[in-house]
Amino acid sequence: MTEKFLFWRTSSWGLSLLLVLPILAIVYTAIGDADEIFAHLMSTVLGTYAWNTLSVVAFTLLLAIIFGVPSAWLMVMCRVPGAKVLQWALVLPLAMPSYIVAYIYTDWFDYAGPVQIWLRNLFGWQTIHDYYFPDIRSIGGAALIMALVLFPYVYLLARGAFMEQSASLLNSARLLKCSPLESFRRLSLPLARPSIAVGASLVAMETVGDFGTMSYFAVPTLTTAVYDTWLGYSSLTAAAKLSAVMLLVIFLLLSAERYSRRKLKLFHQEVSAQPEPYPLSGWRKWAAAAWCWGLIGAAFLFPVFQLLYYAVNYFAESWTPEFRQYSINSLSVSFWAALIACFIAIAVNFNRRLVNKSSAVVPLRIASMGYAVPGTVLAIGVMIILVSTDHLINGFVRSLDYRPPGLLLSGTMFALIVAFVVRFSAVAIGSVESSLAKIPPSMDMAARTMGCNATAMLRRVHFPLIRRGILIAGLLVFIESMKELNAALLLRPFNFETLATYVFNFASDEQLEHAALPAILLVLVGLIPLIVVNRSLEQKS
């Protein structure tokens, strides 16, 4: 063991342990005594909350797979008109915060919205009892919105998997007179299953942790119950117990995802020549294009046009000094979070590369745990940790007979940054991990033979090769931080709003029109990383 290794080891272990502290704080709080409230919840509503959570996740997964997998297959295996645009446009919905899509759809499809009013006028219906219209504010509605916004995860991963499938295999299938549909069902789909499972688990985790959409749609889930319990019953302990239950659920989801990814390695093959895409003709061609455009329209274009309409009409009210200030706040907090997350991603990944032991993977996994914790819950954990650190600092300064500095960590932007880093480091770590994995070990050996020490090798060989991966990592953390609402609501300091909290404040008071401009900015900023990520995917292919 050399000195250099010691640096990577300590920094990766140190950082990952710091990241897991807020989660430990929640588990610790959960041990406290709130049995009476918890028992009351168990005997009354908890079953329904758990059932709702399961149903929303199940429906969302189903829809996300229905939206994501066929469109990925069409993009890779068929000649669809406009495919060049379609294949990146299908990623756009990821830039939309789900709660904004939820607000817009509710406005339109509620009983009091234009769609139902129009139908009533058209058919002369008088009351709600005269006809049936599905209720948007329901489990099904929430699942639809979540799936619309999240299906690109499934799409991206499935598309990657389809692109990697060997042409010879598919060509053999064709020779054996497999119809396109049959080859999809019997060959492509089973081969891509592990990747689809990875995408699906991301969708599932985001859905479990969602607060904005669920509370707006009046679908009480475990996440909304954490809020209710904490604030309604004034019991942080009971809320922490509930969070611990959720952590368990999420741990199970994660394990399933790991399990499926382990299989992925078995299936992984070198990228070979692409099979000749199926030419589509007649109605099939147009149906395929309509399917893809329909998805983009519903998940992205329609909400964006609605926002643009509001933004133009309310521009004067929205273009305020506050708006500009909040944009700067959001940008700077997200920037710092992205930067720090990248540092962490590099530290834990390089450590793993250098220290060739299975234990080196532990910091990687520990540092990724925050992603599994809903923002609300995480905010509580971060608050507990930062405030106690603040108290230690203040106590120490006071013991030296100086004036205590106050809440340096928890009362400032720092708290937000920490929360975002804890929550989104996993995204950065994953991105860096996958680009590092593409560098064959032979490269390391060559570098070492040529006299590079470990650090020089990382700096001169690995770093340039994974620069793009790091950039993507940073951008993904940046966009996620821009959108993050729950932690921001609780941890932001005085006179401080982010674009997300600003939008939420208006929208939750049924005044989305005043928040359209910041909402559009959120979406626009979200587009940048998507375009970059997609470009890199295209270059890969």
Partner 1 sequence: MKKLVAASAVLAALSAPAFAAEEVNVYSYRQPFLIEPMFEKFTAETGIKVNVMFAKKGLAEKIAQEGEFSPADVVLTVDISRLAELANKDLVQAVNSEVIEANIPAQYRDEEDAWFGLTLRTRSVYSSRDRVGELSEEFDYLDLAKPEWKGKICTRSGKHPYNVSLVASMIANHGEAEAKTWLEGFKANLARKPQGNDRAQVRAVSEGLCDLAIGNSYYLGKMVNTPEQVPWAESVYINFPGEKANGTHINISGMAMAKYAPNKENALKLMEFLTGDVAQSMYAEVNYEYPAKEGVKRSELVASWGDFVADDVSLETIADNHAAAMKLLDEVKFDL
Question: Which chain residues interact with partner 1 by CB under 8 A?
Answer: 7, 11, 14-15, 40-41, 44-45, 48, 111-112, 117, 126-128, 135, 137, 217-218, 220, 227-228, 230-234, 236, 336, 339-340, 343, 347, 380, 383-384, 387, 390-391, 394, 404-414, 417, 489-490, 492-497, 505, 508-510
* Distance from C-alpha of 361 to C-alpha of 350, rounded to nearest angstrom: 11
Q: For residues 211 and 300, which CB has a smaller minimum distance to partner 1 in the complex?
A: 211
At 330, give phi and psi (nearest 5°): -60, -45
Q: For residues 54 and 264, which CB has a smaller minimum distance to partner 1 in the complex?
A: 54
CB 195 within 8 Å of CB 233: no
Residue 490 CB, nearest distance to partner 1 (Å)? 5
Q: For residues 57 and 200, which CB has a smaller minimum distance to partner 1 in the complex?
A: 57
Q: For residues 189 and 408, which CB has a smaller minimum distance to partner 1 in the complex?
A: 408
What tokens were used for 539? 């270059």
Residue 136 CB, nearest distance to partner 1 (Å)? 10
What tokens were used for 50? 């758990």
What would you report as the CA-atom Rg of the chain, rounded to the nearest whole angstrom?
25
Which positions ≥6 away from 469 have C-beta within 8 Å?
Answer: 431, 432, 434, 435, 436
Residue 507 CB, nearest distance to partner 1 (Å)? 11
Q: For residues 37 and 192, which CB has a smaller minimum distance to partner 1 in the complex?
A: 37
Q: For residues 218 and 446, which CB has a smaller minimum distance to partner 1 in the complex?
A: 218
Q: For residues 340 and 429, which CB has a smaller minimum distance to partner 1 in the complex?
A: 340
* Distance from C-alpha of 529 to C-alpha of 435, rounded to nearest angstrom: 16
Q: For residues 147 and 417, which CB has a smaller minimum distance to partner 1 in the complex?
A: 417
Q: For residues 101 and 170, which CB has a smaller minimum distance to partner 1 in the complex?
A: 101
Residue 102 CB, nearest distance to partner 1 (Å)? 12
Residue 408: name the closest of 420, 400, 425, 396 by CA: 396
Which positions ≥6 away from 54 have C-beta within 8 Å?
Answer: none
Residue 82 CB, nearest distance to partner 1 (Å)? 38
Residue 468 CB, nearest distance to partner 1 (Å)? 22
What tokens were used for 322? 């506050």
Residue 383 CB, nearest distance to partner 1 (Å)? 6
Q: For residues 460-478, b (16+ Cβ closer than 10 Å) or e, as one string?
A: ebbeeebebbbbbbbbbbb
Q: CB-hemisphere CA count at 13 Å for 382?
A: 30
Residue 440 CB, nearest distance to partner 1 (Å)? 28
Q: CB-hemisphere CA count at 13 Å for 282?
A: 0
Q: Which run of H or of E encompasses 78?
A: strand 78-79
Residue 45 CB, nearest distance to partner 1 (Å)? 5
Residue 64 CB, nearest distance to partner 1 (Å)? 24
Q: For residues 190 and 406, which CB has a smaller minimum distance to partner 1 in the complex?
A: 406
* Distance from C-alpha of 391 to C-alpha of 370, rounded to nearest angstrom: 24
Which positions ≥6 away from 1 have C-beta within 8 Å?
Answer: none
* Distance from C-alpha of 211 to C-alpha of 487, rounded to nearest angstrom: 11
